[in-house]
Structure formats: C-alpha cells, structure tokens
Amino acid sequence: MKVAIYCRLSEEDRNKQFETDDSNSIQNQKSMLLQYAMEQGWELYNIYSDDDYTGADRRRPQFNRLLKDAEQHRFDIILCKTQSRFTRELELVEKYIHGLFPIWGIRFISIVDNADTANKGNKKSRQINGLVNEWYLEDMSENIRSVLTNRRINGFHIGAFALYGYKKDPDQKGHLIIDEEAASVVREVFTLFSQGYGKTAIARMLNDRGIPNPTEYKRLKGLRYKQPKMKNSTLWKYYAISDMLINEIYIGNMVQGKYGSISYKTKQNKPRPKSEWYIVEGTHEPIIDRELWDRVQAMIEDRAKPFICGEIGLFARKARCAHCGYIMRSSKSRGKHFLRCSNYHVSKDSCIGSFISVDRLEQLVIAELNRLSQEYLDKDELEQNIEFCNNLQAQKNRILQDLAAYRKKIEEYAKGIKELYMDKVKGLITDSDFAELSKDFVTQKERLERVALDGEKQLCEIDEKIAVGDNRRELIEQYTNLEHLNREMVETLIDYISVGRRIPGTWDVPIEIHWNF
C-alpha cells in the first residue's frame, strides 16, 4: 500500500528561525507520521507539506497537489496527524473524506483523533470533528474581527502597509510617523494642485523628474508594499494623485475599514459605505496643514461635474491601448472627440501612444459588425430565439427602480431646503447662512432632476419599442444595418476594444474588437 503524508503548520506554532526552514510543528508531524507508516509496513509515496497556511485556506499549494494526485490514484492512503491538519471546513470533510476519496479508492487516516475511512463506525466522529473545527474557525474569525475593530475604533493603524508619506513607528505599535522623503512629495502634490495644476499634469511632472511612484518607492526602500498587477507600475498615474488629494490620513486622521471581508471562509473583500468607515481624528502628525487641505478640497468640489445620464462617452472604459493595456482617455479638440492612451499622458517614454478619433473608431466597429451580421447571422433563427420584449421589460423595471430612488432623494433635498427656509423665516439663521447651507441641497436636487428627466425619456423610448415588439425583424435590423452607435449598443455588444498605433504613412489604426457574444 502506498501512503501520502500531509502536514500543515499550526497557526499557534510559528517557531521557525528562517523562512526557508520547516517549523518544529512540521518536523514533528513528519517524524510521527513516518514512524506510523513504517510500523504499518506501508510504502511512502510522497510528503506534502504546507507551511504558514491556515486550515481554511483552499489555495494551499501542496494541499491542492495532494488532491490532484489522489484523483489520479497515485497512492492508496492519505495520512495526517489530525483531521484539522487536512481541513477545518466541514464542507471539505464531506466533499473529499466522505465523498470523493471513497470514489477514488483513497483511504483517509488521521492518527491523533482516530479518523479512518476504512472504519465505517467512526463516520459520525469524523463529522463531529469537522463541525467542531468549523466552529473553531468561525469563533477565531469573530475574535480577530472584534480585536481589530476595537483597535480601529481607538485609532490604531492595523494595516500591513503604511500609507505613502508615512512609516510604521518602530517604538509604538499601531502608530504612524512621517517619512520625510516621501512626505515632501505629498506636500508638493497638494501645493501644485492648489496652484491650478491638473492631476495628470502633476503625474507627468513627477515622472519627468524620475520620482518613483509609491509602490516603487517602497520597493526601493525595502518596505512592505502591495504587488502591482499592471505593467509600467513604476509611474505615477492620474488615480494615484486623485486618491492622495482626498485621503484624510494626510491631515492626521486615521481612516480605516474602507473594505470588509465577505466571509471568514474567503479572503475576498468588498467596498464598504463611508458611513461604516472608522475615522479617528488626530492620531498622528499631519503632513498637510488644514488650510491647504481645505483649499484643495474646495477646488476638487468646484471641478467636480455631476454625472448626467446620456453624457457618458460612446466608448468610455471600452477602448484600451494595445501596447500597455491601459484605458484610453477622451479629449476634445476643435469640436471633435479623440481617445488617447492614459499612460501616454503621464509619461511619453512608457507607451507608444495609441490614438484614434471617436468617429473613426465608430466607423470601424460598425463596418466589422455589419460584416459579421452578413456572414454569420441567420435572421430567421434570431427572430425565433431572441426575446426582445422580455429584455426591454427588464430594462424598464431597472429604470423604474432608479427613478423611484431619484425621486425619493429629490423629495429629501426639497424637504431640507424647506426646513432651512423656515429656520431663516423664524430668525434662527441669517440670509447668508441660508444661502450657504442650502447651496449643496439645491445643486444635488437639480442634478437628480436632470438624471430623472433623462430616465423618463429612456422609459418612453422603451415603451415605444415594446409596443412594436412583435415586429422582430425591424428590431434585428437595428443591430445589423447600422449607421451610428449609441452607448446602449456599445455596452450590449462590446467587451473591450484594443487600439494600436497608426500605421506609418497611412491613416489606418489597427483595432481588435472583443465582443460580448
């Protein structure tokens, strides 16, 4: 009988001197299991060892290699110290130990808690072990969450990485101190913006001077940093500047909890609303003084444009540079709209500078779509299979839900304006106070009214389409003999478009369309 030994480091037993070493826990497990296998007269196939992994982590490399080899029946027995070393999740106990292992002809044994799938009588014991381990995971997660929440509430920094401009205080856990070299760049960014420079212009200035971006700076200094996913990660980008300018940590406030885990069983996080963030004022020395901060925030607010449905660019977030993969940004010149690689804006040496007019890109997409429709589409079959009216009804329902939300917010803003007006009439606030306090309410109310009006127009268009829903051929023709595109068509039909550089000596720009169908 061939046996595979599986070992895993216990979270409470981290005692390695060097990262490359096995912990004492792993060494002890190996010795115990090898001795047991030898006493049983089994032949050792392999030892699978995951060091520094939790029992709830399904991405353990050796664990997954063990499962793959088990499926191919390269051994007959899996031997562990305890069932919890294999997994702490009841779901995986049922899936593998009680489900797939018997199908694959694999016997599972854990020595300390006497789990053995060859013994039919202790199945309930294995299930109870799995349940207890599941409870342990949940309790441990809640305890850790409680401790971290308490530290956040009290203003202690608990992140793995200090924000650019700061570093962790070696003498006080959870406290940040200023990293003067990086802080000088932060001050320069705020100052330049307050002087009227745009975010892209600031990024380009920093890149031209060879100043490394936050990730590259930390790497060069030997500090902990998050591994970037994109190419050209050493460059400053528009969004790095944008995020910096609104981060309250730079004025001495600790801001944490922007993201929260979905479940203790996964490491995936999701954004949390600002009302659930943990913000504690005055926890560390500020890099930016309050006067400069307030001036910058006022400028950001003045420059902000309300989002109005229907004004989003035709190919917004759909066009990507073929060279570096970055989203192409829109610009306008002499009444025409163009798309250029956003990476080219911040450093001309980092990208070929993909560039195309929106009109030209629209023509290329329509030409390709018409070619595909003539070559591949069977209109009679489409007429039978595509349920246009159902899709339109779903769109109508979504718009109705959005409109209800918009109208509710409009009523709230109107109520706020009315209450402020009554306070002015009663003499509780001055005319200037009323004008200042009601300004934001009026702005938001007008913005939402425009959005609602646009939604009502969309409803009318959908109702007209539903009214002629039986004439499916006409609806199909809208997508097969096109002269112009709209944003709805682009969203429906296109995943993204890769745009190359203009071919020298011609006006041809190579593109590659990735369809949603």
Per-domain residue ranges of the chain: 2-150, 166-303, 319-515
The pLDDT value recorded for residue 15 is: 45
pLDDT in tens, 229-280: 555 467 888 888 988 999 999 999 998 887 776 655 555 667 778 788 888 8
pTM of the model: 0.42
Which CATH architecture fits 2-150?
A: 3-Layer(aba) Sandwich (3.40)
- CATH number of 166-303, picked from 3.20.20, 3.30.930, 3.90.1750, 3.30.70: 3.90.1750
The two structure tokens encoding residue 338 = 């163009």
The pLDDT value recorded for residue 305 is: 47
Weakest-pLDDT range from 94-98, 221-225, 425-429, 437-441 = 221-225
Cα–Cα separations (whole angstroms), residue 25 to 37, 48, 77: 18, 14, 22
Closest CA to 284 of 314, 304, 240, 254: 254
Terminal Cα-to-Cα distance of the chain (whole angstroms)? 51
Residue 113 neighbours by CB under 8 Å, 6+ apart:
82, 83, 125, 129
For the chain, give the percent of residues with pLDDT over 70.
76
Confidence category of residue 12, pLDDT binned at 50, 70, 90: very low
The pLDDT value recorded for residue 269 is: 66
The pLDDT value recorded for residue 144 is: 63
Averaged pLDDT for residues 169-174: 88
Q: When comparing pLDDT for 477 and 457, which is higher?
A: 457
State yes or no: pLDDT of 448 exceeds 90: no
pLDDT in tens, 314-367: 888 788 888 777 778 877 777 788 888 866 655 555 566 788 988 899 989 888
CB contact at 8 A, 240 and 203: yes
State yes or no: pLDDT of 181 exceeds 90: yes
Distance, in Å, from the CA atom of 187 to the CA atom of 193, rounded to the nearest integer, reads 10
Query: Rg of the chain over CA atoms, in angstroms?
Result: 31
Distance, in Å, from the CA atom of 96 to the CA atom of 246, rounded to the nearest integer, reads 49
The pLDDT value recorded for residue 17 is: 44
The two structure tokens encoding residue 458 = 């969309």
Residue 166 neighbours by CB under 8 Å, 6+ apart:
176, 177, 178, 179, 182, 183, 249, 284, 287
Averaged pLDDT for residues 442-467: 78
pLDDT in tens, 288-310: 999 999 999 988 887 654 434 33
Q: Are strands 278-280 and 355-357 parallel, antiparallel or unpaired?
A: unpaired
Q: Are strands 494-499 and 319-321 parallel, antiparallel or unpaired?
A: parallel
**Phi first, then psi: what are they for 397, rounded to 5°?**
-65, -40
pLDDT in tens, 404-420: 888 888 888 888 888 88
Q: Are strands 254-256 and 278-280 parallel, antiparallel or unpaired?
A: antiparallel
Confidence category of residue 471, pLDDT binned at 50, 70, 90: very low
Closest CA to 163 of 152, 176, 153: 176
State yes or no: pLDDT of 43 exceeds 90: yes
Averaged pLDDT for residues 363-372: 84
Residue 500 neighbours by CB under 8 Å, 6+ apart:
322, 323, 352, 354, 509, 510, 511, 512
The pLDDT value recorded for residue 443 is: 79
pLDDT in tens, 197-235: 888 888 888 988 889 999 888 888 877 666 555 554 678
Weakest-pLDDT range from 19-23, 87-91, 289-293, 448-452 = 19-23
The pLDDT value recorded for residue 186 is: 94
Cβ burial of 385 (10 Å; 0-12, 13-18, 19+) is exposed
CB contact at 8 A, 435 and 289: no
Q: How many CB atoms lie within 10 A of CB 101?
A: 19
- Mean pLDDT score across all residues of the chain: 78
The pLDDT value recorded for residue 198 is: 81
Q: What angle do CA 465, 467, 468 make, to 5 degrees?
A: 70
CA 60 remoteness from chain centre: 22
The pLDDT value recorded for residue 46 is: 93
Averaged pLDDT for residues 379-385: 50
For the chain, give the percent of residues with pLDDT over 90.
17
The pLDDT value recorded for residue 321 is: 84
The pLDDT value recorded for residue 462 is: 75
Confidence category of residue 21, pLDDT binned at 50, 70, 90: very low
Residue 225 neighbours by CB under 8 Å, 6+ apart:
161, 214, 215, 218, 219
Distance, in Å, from the CA atom of 495 to the CA atom of 516, rounded to the nearest integer, reads 5
The pLDDT value recorded for residue 508 is: 87
- SS3 label, residue 14: coil
The pLDDT value recorded for residue 76 is: 95
Distance, in Å, from the CA atom of 132 to the CA atom of 139, rounded to the nearest integer, reads 10
The pLDDT value recorded for residue 501 is: 84
The pLDDT value recorded for residue 150 is: 79
